[in-house]
């Protein structure tokens, strides 16, 4: 039996926003009856804001809970904000998913993107037909795999299977998965052009590298001018823990420094969701 | 409502009489059956009696019974014994629907120098004896065919298959773990060389089993060590469990009729009640040649794990062949071998009853399950005749595994 968090169980037993929306203007569908899980997401978008969201899901408890969580997360968001919701946000909302079930949260993210594409009048893309097909058994492409590796900081083929299902059938594609993984892990993770729109969603490693780079290049020089300094202590997702040094420690406006200058700079350069906190001494 | 336990093919409740028989061997009677002193000797006598009880249930002689730590050990021991005794023969035949105790061993052996033929089954889970006949080669070292399938309850023509093998001089093993205690088995009329049973499927504890080795059949110990089990399996005997298995075999003989009348009637009532109340449901497996306690039903448009968890809320224990419960991403190998469409396989639920179940429990499930299925179907984007289902026919999905 799977170890589900209470939150997963609760959302499975009492799912929010089940059903269809008659006046939906964005519909996203992923998965199929045959593949064992499928999600149909209905959104009502007013202006650029998601004013209502409903879902229909065929799948296991974690697929249903992930769908419920997704609708709760995105209701009230702008489309721009919703596009930043990742599978990890869904999993985190539920207090975590068993690792073997992470693909349920990925399905949520894919349905959301499909719905927004539908709203924008872009063609629906089947889960299997973007990029090169790598896993025949589950119809997973190299793009989907590389993305799962990057966004979730995956380190092993087994993890790829947990997130995308690829490799979970006949196993024939495992060699190919390993190659994709090696290519990703071997690659220098720092974006050369962090400000370009390119891949907005960063893996943990990428985000960490980028934060360090911005701290070194932009933030520390400024603080040092004022006799202060800053050190990166830890990162947890998009939360950055720092310690202020030098003049900053005694400066009554250090909180302002953190929230204002440091956070803003990191948000501008790395990720809009960055929250800067002072590390506990 | 108390727990309704309909998962007896997974494991069974230890019969209170079995437990009572075992208890003294944990406390006062703790001697080693191999010891020379009277204190151990009396335990040795009890083990001897248990061996007779096990032998009697299947028509064997006590010398033909080797106690093992589980069904899996019995299967591994038998197959490896046959292979070791005929090192020049490199071909193994078994079925696609075996329990992993046989199937994963066979696949492991295939990676290590053996050739493996996996016999298929039809849509009811039945094997074809002609296919077996054709598969046998000069270098076939062992044929292993289960007595009854754990997921569907389909009973295999073991007597006929074993006769074919005997005629061709090929050793024959049957995994009878699900059959012993539910079906009358007599090895005097069944030309098998090896037969395996497991205690926890017939109201004895987990972690005890027995391997029947026909007198004269090739044998090599799997566990080498002391002279226990007449040198056929090293290791000090699990005395309390052996005593329990003996008692359970006695009880099984006494209760066999009940399994095939009252338990069968309960199973049929459950199956018919559910099929009548729930549309788009089918029974997997052979409707006639089937274990009396098992029914495996697929509910279309819903997924097995979700059904199980909602049943769990109602105190009902069952199991599923869905991908999400198998721990892998694909539905049960048994249902796939039968060609059950994935659309049904994902929503399969196995109910397996025992003599401890009651009609009240059956009626509880017949009352509650339709609501569970309806609730999940309401949530599902698919339903009978829906556009989405029609879309399934299109080759929209590159998943070959989907079968769509
Ligand atoms: C058909 C079959 N064979 C073998 C086994 C394995 O038995 P054990 O659990 O005692 O190792 C089982 C039990 O799940 C079974 O159903
Ligand atoms: S091709 Fe990926 S598991 Fe079969």
- Chain A residues whose CB is inside 8 A of the B388 CB are 29, 33, 38, 40
Residue A173 CB less than 6 A away from ligand 2? yes
d(CA B304, CA B310): 10
Could you tell me the distance, in angstroms and rounded to a whole number, from the CA of residue B338 to the centre of ligand 2?
21
- Chain B residues whose CB is inside 8 A of the A128 CB are 397-399
Q: Which residues of chain A have pLDDT under 50?
A: 126-129, 188-200
CATH no. for residue A220?
3.30.300.130
Catalytic residue among A35, A60, A191, A251: A35
Contacts of B75 (CB under 8 A, 6+ apart): B99, B101, B102, B105, B144, B173, B175, B196
Is A11 domain-assigned?
Answer: yes
**pLDDT value of position B35:** 92
A177 and A210 together in one domain:
no
CB A65 within 8 A of CB A94: yes
Which of B305, B341, B392 minimises the CB distance to A60?
A: B305
d(CA A214, CA A211): 5
Could you tell me the distance, in angstroms and rounded to a whole number, from the CA of residue B202 to the centre of ligand 1?
11
Min Cα distance B33 → chain A (Å) is 39
Backbone angles phi, psi at B55, to 5 degrees: -60, -40
Beta bridge partners of A242: A232, A278
Inter-chain CB proximity B396 and A13 less than 8 Å: no
Contacts of A237 (CB under 8 A, 6+ apart): A88, A92, A204
A108 and A148 together in one domain:
no
Residue B177 CB less than 6 A away from ligand 1? yes
What is the domain range of residue A95? 6-119
Is A253 domain-assigned?
Answer: yes
A178 and A210 together in one domain:
no
A167 and A88 together in one domain:
no
**Structure-token pair, residue B255:** 């209760």
Q: What b/e sequence results for B99-115 when a residue is b if at least 16 CB atoms lie within 10 Å of its CB, and e otherwise? A: bebbbebbbebeeeebe
Q: pLDDT tens across B73-90, in order?
A: 999 999 999 999 999 999
Interface test with A, best of B298, B300, B306, B325 (most A CBs within 10 A): B306
Q: Catalytic site residue B324?
A: yes
Min Cα distance B47 → chain A (Å) is 36
CB B343 within 8 A of CB B300: yes
A260 and A225 together in one domain:
yes
Of B73, B91, B68, which is closest to residue B241 (Cα–Cα)? B68
**pLDDT value of position A264:** 84
Is A176 domain-assigned?
Answer: yes
What dotted CATH number matches B4-8+256-380? 3.90.1150.10
Contacts of A46 (CB under 8 A, 6+ apart): none
A37 and A110 together in one domain:
yes
d(CA B204, CA B197): 11
A158 and A112 together in one domain:
no
Residue B146 CB less than 6 A away from ligand 1? yes
Of A59, A86, A65, which is closest to residue A6 (Cα–Cα)? A65
List residues of chain B with CB under 8 Å from any CB of chain A.
Answer: 301-306, 309-310, 313, 322-325, 327-331, 341-343, 346, 378-382, 388-389, 392, 396-404
d(CA B122, CA B97): 11
Q: pLDDT tens across B30-81, in order?
A: 999 999 999 999 999 999 999 999 999 999 999 999 999 999 999 999 999 9
CATH no. for residue A21?
3.90.1010.10
Catalytic residue among B324, B397, B399, B402: B324
Of B221, B79, B217, which is closest to residue B143 (Cα–Cα)? B79
CB B189 within 8 A of CB B59: yes
Among candidate residues A69, A103, A119, the one where a domain is terminated: A119
Q: How many domains does chain A have?
A: 3
Which of B310, B313, B404 minimises the CB distance to A32?
A: B404
Is A194 domain-assigned?
Answer: no
Min Cα distance A137 → chain B (Å) is 4
Which ligand does the CA of B209 lie closest to?
A: 1
Minimum CA distance residue for ligand 1 atom 8: B71
Q: Which of A173, A177, A179, A181 gets mutated to test ligand 2 (max ligand atoms within 8 A of its CB)?
A: A173
- Chain A residues whose CB is inside 8 A of the B305 CB are 2, 60-61
Min Cα distance B382 → chain A (Å) is 7
d(CA B97, CA A240): 53
d(CA A118, CA A45): 11
**pLDDT value of position A195:** 39
Is A141 domain-assigned?
Answer: yes
- Chain B residues whose CB is inside 8 A of the A161 CB are 329
Burial label, B270 (beta-carbon count in 10 A; 0-12, 13-18, 19+)? buried
**Structure-token pair, residue A243:** 């310690």
A102 and A67 together in one domain:
yes
CB B208 within 8 A of CB B241: yes
Could you tell me the distance, in angstroms and rounded to a whole number, from the CA of residue B84 to the centre of ligand 1?
23
Inter-chain CB proximity A161 and B329 less than 8 Å: yes
Beta bridge partners of B282: B298
Could you tell me the distance, in angstroms and rounded to a whole number, from the CA of residue A51 to the centre of ligand 1?
53
CB B189 within 8 A of CB B159: yes
Beta bridge partners of B142: B92
CATH no. for residue A158?
1.10.10.1100
**pLDDT value of position A14:** 95
> What angle (nearest 5°) sits at the alpha carbon of residue B388, between those of residues A127 and B323?
60
Which ligand does the CA of B208 lie closest to?
A: 1
Residue B205 CB less than 6 A away from ligand 1? no
Residue A166 CB less than 6 A away from ligand 2? yes
Is A98 domain-assigned?
Answer: yes
Min Cα distance B378 → chain A (Å) is 8
H, E, C per residue of chain B:
CCCEECECCCCCCCCHHHHHHHHHHCCCCCCCCCCCCHHHHHHHHHHHHHHHHHHHHHCCCHHHEEEECCHHHHHHHHHHHHHHHCCCCCEEEEECCCCHHHHHHHHHHHCCCCEEEEECCCCCCCCCHHHHHHHCCCCEEEEECCCECCCCCEECCHHHHHHHHHHHCCCEEEECCCCECCECCCCCCCCCCEEEEEHHHCCCCCCCEEEEECCCCCCCCCCCCCCHHHHCCCCCCCHHHHHHHHHHHHHHHHHHHHHHHHHHHHHHHHHHHHHHHCCCEEEECCCCCECCCEEEEEECCCCHHHHHHHHHHCCEECEECCHHHHCCCCCCHHHHHCCCCHHHHCCEEEEECCCCCCHHHHHHHHHHHHHHHHHHHHHCCCCCCCHHHHHHHCCCCCCCCCCC
* End-to-end Cα separation, chain B, in angstroms: 41
Supply the mean pLDDT for chain A.
84
Contacts of B265 (CB under 8 A, 6+ apart): none
Distance set, CA B329 to CA A8, A34, A110, A171, B102 (Å): 20, 12, 19, 11, 21
Q: Which residues of chain B have pLDDT under 70?
A: 1, 324-328, 385-404
Burial label, B38 (beta-carbon count in 10 A; 0-12, 13-18, 19+)? exposed
**ipTM of predicted complex:** 0.84
A114 and A133 together in one domain:
no
Q: Say yes or no: domain B16-252 is CATH 3.40.50.300.
A: no
Residue A175 CB less than 6 A away from ligand 2? no
Among candidate residues A94, A119, A144, the one where a domain is terminated: A119
Beta bridge partners of A262: none
- Taking the CA of residue B209 as reference, the ligand 1 atom at the shortest distance is 10
Backbone angles phi, psi at B397, to 5 degrees: -105, 130
Residue B173 CB less than 6 A away from ligand 1? no
**Structure-token pair, residue A56:** 């229909």
* Closest Cα in chain A to B300: A33
Is A26 domain-assigned?
Answer: yes
Among candidate residues A139, A154, A187, the one where a domain is terminated: A187
Contacts of A27 (CB under 8 A, 6+ apart): A40, A41, A42, A43, A115, A118
* End-to-end Cα separation, chain A, in angstroms: 41
**pLDDT value of position A246:** 73
d(CA B22, CA B239): 8
Burial label, A127 (beta-carbon count in 10 A; 0-12, 13-18, 19+)? buried
Inter-chain CB proximity B398 and A36 less than 8 Å: no
Is A58 domain-assigned?
Answer: yes
A142 and A221 together in one domain:
no
Inter-chain CB proximity B329 and A15 less than 8 Å: no
- Report which DSSP code applies to A122: P
Inter-chain CB proximity A36 and B322 less than 8 Å: yes
- Report which DSSP code applies to A20: -
A108 and A137 together in one domain:
no
Residue B8 CB less than 6 A away from ligand 1? no
CB B197 within 8 A of CB B58: yes
A28 and A88 together in one domain:
yes
**Structure-token pair, residue A20:** 């269809």
Backbone angles phi, psi at B96, to 5 degrees: -75, -10
Where do the structural domains in chain B lie, given as residue ranges?
4-8+256-380, 16-252
Residue A167 CB less than 6 A away from ligand 2? yes
């Amino acid at each position: 039996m799977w170890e589900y968090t209470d939150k997963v169980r609760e959302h499975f037993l009492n799912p929010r926003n089940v059903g269809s929306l008659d006046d939906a203007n964005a519909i996203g569908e992923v998965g199929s009856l045959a593949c064992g899980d499928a999600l149909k997401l209905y959104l009502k978008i007013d202006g650029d804001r998601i004013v209502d969201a409903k879902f229909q899901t065929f799948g296991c408890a974690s697929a249903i809970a992930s769908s419920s969580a997704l609708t709760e997360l995105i209701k009230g968001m702008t489309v721009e904000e919703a596009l930043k919701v990742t599978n990890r946000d869904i999993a985190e909302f539920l207090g975590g998913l068993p690792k073997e079930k992470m693909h349920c949260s990925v399905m949520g993210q894919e349905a959301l993107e499909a719905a927004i594409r539908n709203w924008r009048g872009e063609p629906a893309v089947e889960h299997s037909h973007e990029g090169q097909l790598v896993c025949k058994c589950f119809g997973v492409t190299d793009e989907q795999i590389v993305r799962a590796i990057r966004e979730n900081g995956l380190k092993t083929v087994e993890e790829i299977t947990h997130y995308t299902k690829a490799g979970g059938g006949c196993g024939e594609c495992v060699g190919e998965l390993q190659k994709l993984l090696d290519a990703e892990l071997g690659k220098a993770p720092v974006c050369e052009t962090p400000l370009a729109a390119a891949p907005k969603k960063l893996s943990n490693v990428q985000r960490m590298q980028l934060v360090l780079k911005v701290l070194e290049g932009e933030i520390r020089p400024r603080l040092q001018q004022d006799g202060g300094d800053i050190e990166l202590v830890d990162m947890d997702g998009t939360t950055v823990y720092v310690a202020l040094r030098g003049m900053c420690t005694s400066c009554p406006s250090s909180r302002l420094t953190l929230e204002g200058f440091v956070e803003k700079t990191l948000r501008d350069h790395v990720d809009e969701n960055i929250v800067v906190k002072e590390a506990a001494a | 409502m108390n727990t309704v336990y309909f998962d007896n093919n997974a494991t069974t409740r230890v019969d209170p009489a079995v437990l009572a028989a075992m208890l003294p061997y944990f406390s006062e009677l703790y001697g080693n059956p191999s010891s020379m002193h009277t204190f151990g000797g009396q335990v040795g006598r009890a083990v001897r009696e248990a061996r007779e009880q096990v032998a009697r249930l299947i028509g064997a002689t006590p010398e033909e019974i080797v106690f093992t730590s589980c069904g899996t050990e019995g299967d591994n021991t038998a197959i490896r014994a046959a292979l070791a005794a005929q090192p020049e023969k490199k071909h193994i035949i078994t079925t696609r629907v075996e329990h992993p105790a046989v199937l994963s061993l066979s696949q492991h052996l295939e990676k290590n120098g053996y050739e493996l033929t996996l016999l298929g089954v039809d849509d009811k889970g039945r094997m074809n004896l002609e296919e077996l006949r054709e598969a046998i080669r000069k270098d076939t070292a062992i044929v292993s065919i289960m007595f009854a399938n754990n997921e569907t309850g389909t009973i295999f023509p073991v007597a006929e298959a074993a006769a074919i093998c005997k005629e061709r001089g090929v050793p024959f093993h049957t995994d009878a773990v699900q059959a012993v205690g539910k079906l009358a088995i007599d090895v005097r009329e069944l030309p098998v060389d090896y037969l395996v049973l497991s205690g926890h499927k017939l109201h004895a504890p987990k972690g005890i089993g027995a391997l029947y080795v026909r007198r004269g059949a090739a044998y090599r110990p799997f566990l080498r060590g002391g002279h226990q089990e007449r040198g056929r399996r090293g290791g000090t005997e699990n005395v309390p469990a052996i005593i329990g298995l003996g008692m359970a075999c006695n009880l099984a003989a006494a209760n066999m009729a009940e399994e095939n009348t009252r338990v069968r009637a309960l199973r049929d009532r459950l199956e018919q009640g559910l099929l009548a109340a729930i549309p788009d449901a089918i029974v997997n497996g052979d409707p006639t040649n089937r274990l009396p306690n098992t029914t495996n039903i697929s509910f279309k448009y819903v997924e097995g794990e979700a059904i199980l968890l909602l049943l769990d809320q109602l105190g009902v224990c069952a199991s599923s062949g869905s991908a999400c419960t198998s721990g892998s991403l694909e539905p049960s190998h048994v249902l796939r071998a039968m060609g059950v469409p994935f659309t049904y396989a994902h929503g399969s639920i196995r109910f397996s009853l025992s003599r401890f179940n009651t009609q009240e429990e059956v009626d509880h499930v017949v009352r509650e399950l339709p609501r569970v299925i309806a609730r999940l179907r309401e949530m599902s984007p698919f339903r009978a005749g829906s556009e989405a289902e029609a879309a399934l026919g299109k080759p929209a999905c590159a998943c070959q595994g989907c079968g769509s």
